[in-house]
Structure 1
Amino acid sequence: MAESTLTSRGQTTVPAEMRAALHAEPGTRLEWHVMPDSDVIVRAKTLSILNLAGSVKVDKHVDIEDMNP
């Protein structure tokens, strides 16, 4: 188990072993979720929706008129 201390300014350092497990680097955004039982889940946001650009191949072009009922 890793632990850190909260400063008077509300800041903390993410322990090195947690950064390694999350593959977190400087600039990595972290999402914090508080569960109903007060457990906290932290997720590293490593991907952006922009990373998905071009990942789907589209073979068929559809005109706007064909999309409307």
Structure 2
Amino acid sequence: MTIPQNIRELAGLKPYDEVEFEYRNKQIVVKPVKRASTPGEEAIALLRGSGTSKLELSADEWLEMTRGER
């Protein structure tokens, strides 16, 4: 489920945070799931999706390259 960025920021949610839903007073309430995380997990969560490549390769080209076929 995609939560709009402005709502995520107001709620203090980061991308990939887990949430739970509650139905209260005829409203749906979305709350972050509280769980303990290690510093390593937090670092990975912050970096997830940030890698970019300047190579314009198709999926087939990437597979060939990783399999050593190129």
Q: Which TM-score band (shorter chain)? A: 0.3 to 0.5
TM-score when normalising by structure 1: 0.42
TM-score when normalising by structure 2: 0.42
Greater radius of gyration (CA): 1
